[in-house]
Amino acid sequence: MTILGVDPGTLTTGYGLIEISKGTTKVIKCDAIKNDSADLMPQRLKRIFETLSQVMDEFQPDIVAIETAFYGKNAQSALKLGHARGVIMLAAIVREIPTHEYSPREIKKALVGHGNASKQQVQYMITSILKLKKFPQGFDTTDALAVAICHLQRSLQPTQKYTSWKSFLTEHPEKISQLQQMRKR
């Protein structure tokens, strides 16, 4: 399985491609798309779209995982980030690549164990998990790899979710008898 993780931004969009094969995870490619602040928004979006389209065409990822918008920024920043996310999703949708979204907090929790991790902590964990000899260049690239790793971890978790104890016990009646036996002891 190949996962393309993307950390969207209109000035810098990080991306990281990981491959999982025979229990080993390795980095195939990671980089950042850097736009000039003097460029108009349509040119920035075009560059993000074209670069990620080229990456998707070359490496054929099975999944695109993207960081959701951070709502603590001002409205203008959120709107710009939404534009970048839109062209990234469009590049994936045109190629019929499934897309999954993860919040910054969820990504940090998946890698570091808590949602308030610093960029340095995430960078360290990426280097450790992927057994890299040096830090990937730039936090945008590291964050993109973190999004991909987060998706990998989430995809390995069981998909069955229970809304109540009753629904869990309905699906697992053997647990009732185990509980009754534990009470007898």
**Catalytic annotation, pick one of 36, 57, 140, 174:** 140
The chain-wide mean pLDDT, for the chain, equals 86
Question: Is residue 39 over pLDDT 80?
Answer: yes
Domain around 75? 2-184
| pLDDT at residue 43, as a whole number | 97
C-beta separation of 85 from 69 below 8 A = yes
Query: Is position 140 annotated as part of the catalytic site?
Result: yes
Q: What is the pTM of this model?
A: 0.81
What's the average model confidence in pLDDT over 73-85?
Answer: 83
Of residues 85 and 164, more confidence is placed in: 85
| pLDDT at residue 169, as a whole number | 67
Query: Is position 101 annotated as part of the catalytic site?
Result: no
What's the average model confidence in pLDDT over 139-145?
Answer: 93
- Three-class SS string for 105-166? HHHHHHHHCCCCCCHHHHHHHHHHHCCCCCCCCCHHHHHHHHHHHHHHHHHHCCCCCCCCHH
pLDDT tens digits along 145-172: 999 999 998 887 655 566 676 776 677 6
C-beta separation of 102 from 67 below 8 A = yes
CATH number at 29 reads 3.30.420.10
**Catalytic annotation, pick one of 19, 31, 67, 171:** 67
| pLDDT at residue 73, as a whole number | 60
Residues 90, 153: Cα–Cα separation, whole Å: 24
Question: Domain total for the chain?
Answer: 1
- Dihedral over Cα of 138, 100, 94, 79: its sign: negative
Question: Is residue 66 over pLDDT 70?
Answer: yes
C-beta separation of 84 from 10 below 8 A = yes
Query: Is position 7 annotated as part of the catalytic site?
Result: yes
pLDDT tens digits along 107-134: 998 888 887 888 888 888 888 888 888 8
Collapsed DSSP state (helix, strand, coil) of residue 81 = helix
Taking alpha carbons only, the member of 156, 151, 150 closest to residue 112 is 150
